[in-house]
Each structure stands twice: as C-alpha cells, then as structure tokens.
C-alpha cells in the first residue's frame, strides 16, 4: 500500500468537499421528510398498498433471521425474487431491512432517510460523471442536483423503479473512460457491472431503457469511423457480458418466474410471457406531445420536470461545447430519450417495440425519461462552466433576453388564466417558471457585465434550480394535518384487531378480504396468508385453476372473510372490528393439509378433492389400498420458506398442501429426498407410505443461488478492476502527476 504525501491527503479531503456540499443540499431540499415528522413520500396508492407491505414483510423476515425468498401471503405463495419488484435482490435494500424495527414495524424515519439517501447517491453518481468529464466542482454539484432532485429520479416514487437510476451515471462514466482509452478493459468491466447492478433494484422497465442507451452508444463507437472497430467491439462484448453476470441475481429468477406467470399489463385479461403486450397499452402510458412543456413548466403532468433554468442550461451546454464528442453523444441521448417517451407519437418507439426484444414488455414509454435525464444533467455542468467566460458574452445576452421574454409570456398567460378562471392542467405554480426565468436573466446579465463573479453567479443559479425543482419534486408530499390528503396510509393502522382475532383462533387458515374496504396488501403488512393480493403477476398454474367459486375457496382453505357484509350466505359473522370491517367464518373450508389415496385422469361430475387427486400431463404415482381407518395429517410449522407436516397414513397415499407448486421447492420424507407433485394443476403433493412420517419442504431455488453466485463473481471482478484503477491513480499522485 502506498502512503499518500501530505499534499495528497489535503487533496483527498478537498475532494470530499463537493460530495459533502451535495449531501447538505439534498438533506435540506428534502427537509419535509427528514427534518420534520409532518410529511411522507408513502402517501400514494402503489406506495402504501403495494411497496410498503413488501418492505415490511422483508424487514420482518430479516429480523427473524430468515433471508426472504418466498412470499406466502398472497395468491397461495409466490417467489420474491421472481416477481422482481419487491427488490429482494438489491443489497442496499438489505441495509434498510436491518434497521431496528419499532414494535415490529419498519420505521417511517428509516423509510424517509432511505428515500433521501437514494436521491443523494443518484446525485453523487452524476456529480462523479460531470467531474470525470472535466467539469468544475461547483458545476458538477449543480449537475448532481439536476439529476438527483429532478427529472426521472425525483418524479418516480416507487423504489423498484428508481433505485436502478442511482447507478446509471456510473455506467456512462466508465463507458466514456473506456472510449477515451483510460484503462479500457477495467472501465468496460465497471460500466457493465454498474449497468447489471441497476437491474437488481427490481423493475425491468427503467433498466431496459438504460441498457438500450448503453448498447446504442457502444454500437456507435464500434462503427462511427465507417468501419468496424474490433477493439471497441471486444470492449463492448466484455461490458455486456459483465452486465449479464452482475444482473443474474435478479434476472435469472425473474426469467424462471416470467415463463410461468401471467401479468396484468393494462388490458382486461392478464398475459403470459410469450404473449405480446398490445401497443394500445404503450399508447396509454406514453408521454403526450403537450406534456413536453412539463420539462420546464411546473404543474403539468410530466415525469421529466427539470425547470426553466436547468433546461436552458442544458441546451446552452450542448451549444457551447458541441465540438466535444462526449457532449454530442450526451445531447443525442437526451433527444433519443425524449423522442422515446412519446411512444406512438414517435416512429422510433414503434420500430424499437417491433424489433428489439423485451421493449414490448416495458409498457410505459414515459419511463424513457431516465435516458433524457442522464443526457441533460451533465450538459448543465458544461453551461455552468462555459457561460461566464468572456468569449461567450453574446450567448449570455441572448439567453438573458430569451429568459426575460419567456418570463413575461408565462406571467401574462398566468394572470389571464387565473383572472378568467380558465381550467388548465396546471396550477398557480406556473408563475414559478416566470419568477425563475426573470431572475436567471438578471444573473446572466450580471455575468455578462462582470457585476457577478462566476462563482457567485453559479451559487445563485444553483439556488434558482433548487427553487424550481422544490416546487415540483416535493409537492406531492401531503402534510399529516390535512386528513383530506391522507387517504392511503391511515387504513394500514385500522385493521389490527381483525388480524389479532384470526390469529387467536389458531391454525393455518387463509383469509380473503374485500379490497374495496381494505385496499392494501394486508397479508404482507401483517404477515398473514391471504387469498387475494394487489400484485402485478400470478403463477399461471394457479391462475388456470378455478379460483373464485365457493367450492374453490373451500379447497384453498379460506376460513375467514374480512368485509362489511358477508360475501356468501353460509359465512357466519364472528367478530366486528373498530373500523366497521367484520370477520366472517367459512365453516366448510378445507384444512390446509390432508391426504388422498386415489387419483383420477381429470375432474368430472362427482369429483371429491378431499379423497381424489388429478395430475396434468405426467405419469401418475402408485397409490395403496386402505382397509379402513382415518389418516391424521397436521402442519405444526409453516414459515415462508419452510414447512413441516406430520402424517400418519393407513396406507400409501399423497399428502396435499394447498400452497403454490413452483420449481425450487424441495421435499424430504423422514430425511429422504422425494418428489413434489403438481397436484390439482397447481398445488403441492408428496407421496408417503403408510405409517407415521415427517414431511419437510424447503424453498431452495437453483435460480437464486446460481444468479447470486454469478453476481458475486461479477462483484469480485469489479472490485479487482476498481482496485487496479485506484492503485494506478495513487501511483500518479505519489509521483506528483
């Protein structure tokens, strides 16, 4: 290890100045979340009903000493990794799950810091990209603010859709280093690693668009001089292989599950993986041409708001530094992302939808704004550095006049609209754009006339950018003292008495609930097994079974129904909760485990699932012939990834557990490995000889373990590449370079 000289240590401390300033800015920007207890980012339908229960379930499992692999609390059980969106494969989430719980619940303060730190690290990554492109410390801080506090990162709330964006700037930082010839192999490996690591965050959509942008840039670098550059092509191949390895912890289980699941995409019926997502769905979730005004006008429904000042700086940065090839590439990425978000309004999206694998699965073209964000933010840093230079006085003058005219136009429109009470898709925040524009015009004039130093002007510009972003990025956070704005979180605290009653009855009974009165995933939130759940997908084997008839609900062991009135006449009211929701008991519900001694080819009239079983497309196991007596089957232990069943059978038969059959579940009878049959089309069955036996089932999915091993391998290679680059940097520093 090489000891840094005193000058090197001072330089190291000085290098921490930018990240420290950026941290202070981000924390103060989100003062509503971390400096008060009055606001929250969790007040929203998906955040409260879906994301928060997922996080709570996983945190609970971690604190019980169990690594969460299987979620039993909806639709009879699903793999967490396969669903992807719970973010179970994302290591930074594990740190959140390990934060001490409060009375068994994940702390809101921890969730708020999780939200803020995600934005900070996204901003820090973009800061690093801008610095690597040769931008000043102050301009890079501004670039980080634009990326981390605006655009895609700020306006998309769901963690599984945002966490991957934290690593996106590093993808292009190392890709551009490889292009410049700076330790090209190591840089290619690191670019691919961060691209793959982003996939671990959960949702495929954003990561697919970033992967397309990176692949597109690699292709351009390979052919830009009119002939194939085999050296660059090899670097691109190395990078993309690294991406595949790094993402394996998530993508291999996701691929396994995706082929065996149906997914709701916005049409009436769910679709399977081999079915095309209709283009009409993409049309619905694309940005409309008019919504492009939302890039710089607050109050419009836009997922890529940056504000007047940041957008103006981005355009000026592209103009002033156009001779730099990296600037041209960033500008091209920004424009490509913008055109892609328009979906059917852009011919390019339709071509990609038709030709590029998986694009049709990414049903929200508007999420392509992540590519616009990563292209625009570094360009802002170029403008912040170049505008104050004497040779650019003419551009300062033009920009000042343009901003002043824009301010006057917006102010006039705003006064007319609000005076005449005209209804628009905006609100009084429209005038924020006018205020910011006229102040920016004054700053530009000050730069031009040397009334402001470059540093003072940059501080003022950064303040204006934050002023604009704050009025949009933190606007959705409701105050808890405004009950009319808090509709989704309060129900999560209203039904604990119902769950307490069900638990005190004992047994492993499932519940069904009226999702009109209980809109959130009560199963994951309280750790109870439910029939229905608010999720994006369900194993297709389960969905093909008869699910909603009274006999089917008896079969699934749904013993309790939570609602304001009975769903079926035979349900008996047994408890009334404080919220007005009642518990109704189903006296005809099957037990969760039982045994059968006879199989049939297919269910027909008179079929009795308590005594008969059928199998789909496989050889039937051999059953014994019983002389009489009754079997005794019990389930003393049922945890998410482990089940123990005791069985005393009169003769050879099958023990049935009405949990989802899925690859990765392993069974042992008295310590000997046995097969788990797919009984009744979608649940688990294990053959057992007569007599007393102990059956154990564990979820040990090869897809997760193989994927984890490949991701770990990628991480080891990335660390080695990073250390090699760091050692080279230290040698240069110690030599006085």
Backbone Cα Rg of the chain: 29
pLDDT of residue 735: 40
For 17-45, write each residue's pLDDT tens digit.
Answer: 889 999 999 999 999 999 999 999 999 88
pLDDT of residue 225: 78
Q: What is the DSSP pairing of strand 613-614 with strand 599-600?
A: parallel
User: Above 80 in pLDDT, residue 419?
Assistant: no
Among residues 250, 239, 248, which one has the least CA distance to residue 201? 250
CB 363 within 8 A of CB 277: yes
User: Above 70 in pLDDT, residue 724?
Assistant: no
For 233-260, write each residue's pLDDT tens digit.
Answer: 999 999 999 999 999 999 999 999 989 9
In degrees rounded to 5, what are phi and psi of residue 385?
-80, -40
**Helix 369-386 × helix 204-223 angle, to 10°:** 60
For 617-633, write each residue's pLDDT tens digit.
Answer: 666 788 888 876 788 99
**Helix 702-734 × helix 184-199 angle, to 10°:** 140
Residue 296, CA atoms < 13 Å, CB-side half-sphere = 19
pLDDT of residue 424: 58
In degrees rounded to 5, what are phi and psi of residue 702?
-60, -30
For 356-376, write each residue's pLDDT tens digit.
Answer: 888 888 888 888 899 999 999
Percentage of the residues of the chain whose pLDDT score is greater than 90 = 53
Does 730 or 715 have the greater pLDDT score? 715
Q: In a 10 Å sphere around its CB, with 0-12 CB exposed, 13-18 middle and 19+ buried, how is residue 412 labelled?
A: exposed
User: Above 60 in pLDDT, residue 2?
Assistant: no
For 446-502, write each residue's pLDDT tens digit.
Answer: 888 888 888 998 999 999 999 999 988 888 899 988 888 889 999 988 999 999 999
Percentage of the residues of the chain whose pLDDT score is greater than 70 = 94
Q: What integer best gives the mean pLDDT of the chain?
A: 88
- Overall average pLDDT of the 161-189 stretch: 93
User: Above 70 in pLDDT, residue 730?
Assistant: no
Q: Which of 37-51, 322-336, 337-351, 407-421 has the lowest mean pLDDT?
A: 407-421
pLDDT of residue 370: 92
DSSP for 425-447, please give it: S--TTHHHHHHHHHHHHHHHHHH
User: For residues 366 and 289, what is the distance between their CA atoms, to the nearest angstrom?
Assistant: 11
Q: Which CA distances in Å does 682 have to 27, 252, 685?
A: 49, 22, 10
- Overall average pLDDT of the 153-162 stretch: 90
User: Above 60 in pLDDT, residue 3?
Assistant: no
- Overall average pLDDT of the 97-111 stretch: 93
pLDDT of residue 469: 92
User: How big is the CA angle at 595 (ends 590 and 596), to the nearest 5 degrees?
Assistant: 105
pLDDT of residue 30: 95
Work out the pLDDT band at 732, boundaries 50, 70, 90.
very low
CB 81 within 8 A of CB 69: yes
Q: Quickly count: other Cβ atoms within 10 Å of residue 563's Cβ.
A: 18
Token couple for 479: 């105050």
For 284-297, write each residue's pLDDT tens digit.
Answer: 888 888 888 888 88
Among residues 387, 468, 450, 370, which one has the least CA distance to residue 168? 370
pLDDT of residue 615: 86
pLDDT of residue 1: 40
* Entry pTM: 0.91
For 521-571, write each residue's pLDDT tens digit.
Answer: 999 999 999 998 888 888 988 888 888 888 888 999 999 999 999 888 888
Among residues 146, 139, 141, which one has the least CA distance to residue 454? 139
- Overall average pLDDT of the 689-712 stretch: 94
Q: Which CA distances in Å does 364 have to 167, 196, 277?
A: 21, 21, 11
User: For residues 37 and 109, what is the distance between their CA atoms, to the nearest angstrom?
Assistant: 8
Residue 434, CA atoms < 13 Å, CB-side half-sphere = 13
Work out the pLDDT band at 10, boundaries 50, 70, 90.
low
User: Above 70 in pLDDT, residue 321?
Assistant: yes
- Overall average pLDDT of the 394-403 stretch: 88
CA dihedral 308, 310, 312, 315 (to 10 degrees): -140
User: For residues 564 and 560, what is the distance between their CA atoms, to the nearest angstrom?
Assistant: 13
pLDDT of residue 498: 92
């Amino acid at each position: 290890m090489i000891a840094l000289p005193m000058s090197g240590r001072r330089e190291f401390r000085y290098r921490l100045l930018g990240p420290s300033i950026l941290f202070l800015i981000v924390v103060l920007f989100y003062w509503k979340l971390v400096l008060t207890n009055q606001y929250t980012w969790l007040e929203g339908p998906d955040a409260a009903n879906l994301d928060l229960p997922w996080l709570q379930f996983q945190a609970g499992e971690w604190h019980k000493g169990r690594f969460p692999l299987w979620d039993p609390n909806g639709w009879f059980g699903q793999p967490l990794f396969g669903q992807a969106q719970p973010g179970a494969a994302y290591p930074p989430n594990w740190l959140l799950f390990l934060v001490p719980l409060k009375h068994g619940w994940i702390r809101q303060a921890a969730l708020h810091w999780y939200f803020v730190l995600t934005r900070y690290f996204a901003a820090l990554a973009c800061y690093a990209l801008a610095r690597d492109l040769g931008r000043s410390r102050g301009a890079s801080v501004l670039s980080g603010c634009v990326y981390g506090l605006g655009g895609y990162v700020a306006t998309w709330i769901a963690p599984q859709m945002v966490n991957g964006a934290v690593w996106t700037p590093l993808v292009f930082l190392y890709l551009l280093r490889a292009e410049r010839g700076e330790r090209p192999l190591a840089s290619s490996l690191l670019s691919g690693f961060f691209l793959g690591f982003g996939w671990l965050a959960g949702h495929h959509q954003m990561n697919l668009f970033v992967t397309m942008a990176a692949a597109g840039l690699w292709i351009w670098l390979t052919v830009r001089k009119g002939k194939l550059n085999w050296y660059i092509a090899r670097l691109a191949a190395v990078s993309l292989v690294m991406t595949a390895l790094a993402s394996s912890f998530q993508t291999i289980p996701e691929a396994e599950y995706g082929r065996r699941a149906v997914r709701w995409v916005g049409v009436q019926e769910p679709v399977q993986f081999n079915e095309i997502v209709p283009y009409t769905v993409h049309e619905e979730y694309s940005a409309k041409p008019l919504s492009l005004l939302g890039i710089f006008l607050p109050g419009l429904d836009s997922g890529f708001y940056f504000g007047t000042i940041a957008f103006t700086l981005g355009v000026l940065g592209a103009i002033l530094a156009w001779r730099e090839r990296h600037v041209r590439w960033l500008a091209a990425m920004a424009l490509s992302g913008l055109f892609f978000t328009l979906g059917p309004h852009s011919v390019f999206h339709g071509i990609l939808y038709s030709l590029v694998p998986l694009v049709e699965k990414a049903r929200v073209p508007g999420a392509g704004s992540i590519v616009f964000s990563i292209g625009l933010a570094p360009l802002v840093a170029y403008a912040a550095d170049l505008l104050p230079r004497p040779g650019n006085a003419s551009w300062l003058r033009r920009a000042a006049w343009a901003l002043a005219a824009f301010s006057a136009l917006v102010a006039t429109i705003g006064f007319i609209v609000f005076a005449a009470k005209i209804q628009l898709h905006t609100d009084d925040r429209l005038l924020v754009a006018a205020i910011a524009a006229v102040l920016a015009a004054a700053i530009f004039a000050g730069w031009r006339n040397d009334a402001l130093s470059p540093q003072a002007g940059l501080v003022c510009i950064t303040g204006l950018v934050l002023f604009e972003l704050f009025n949009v990025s933190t606007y959705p956070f409701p105050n808890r003292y405004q009950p009319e704005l808090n509709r989704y979180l309060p129900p999560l605290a209203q039904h604990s008495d119902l769950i307490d009653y069900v638990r005190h009855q004992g047994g492993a009974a499932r519940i069904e609930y009226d999702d009109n009165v209980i809109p959130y995933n009560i199963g994951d939130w309280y750790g109870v097994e439910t029939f229905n759940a608010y999720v994006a997908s369900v194993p297709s084997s389960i969905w093909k079974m008869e699910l909603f008839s009274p006999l089917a609900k008896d079969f699934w062991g749904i013993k309790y129904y939570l609602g304001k009135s009975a769903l079926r006449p035979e349900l008996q009211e047994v408890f009334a909760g404080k919220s007005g929701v009642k518990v109704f008991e189903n006296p005809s519900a099957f037990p969760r485990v039982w045994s059968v001694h006879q199989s049939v080819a297919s269910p027909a009239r008179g079929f009795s699932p308590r005594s008969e079983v059928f199998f789909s497309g496989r050889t039937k196991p051999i059953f014994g012939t019983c002389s009489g007596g009754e079997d005794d089957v019990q389930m003393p232990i049922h945890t998410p990834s482990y089940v123990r069943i005791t069985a005393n059978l009169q003769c050879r038969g099958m023990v049935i557990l009405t949990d989802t059959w899925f690859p990765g579940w392993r069974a042992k009878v008295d310590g000997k490995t046995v097969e788990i049959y797919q009984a009744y089309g979608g649940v688990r069955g294990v053959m057992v000889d007569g007599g007393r036996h102990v059956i154990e089932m564990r979820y040990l999915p090869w897809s997760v373990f193989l994927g984890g091993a490949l991701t770990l391998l990628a991480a080891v290679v990335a660390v080695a590449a990073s250390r090699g680059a760091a050692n080279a940097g230290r040698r240069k520093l110690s030599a006085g370079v």
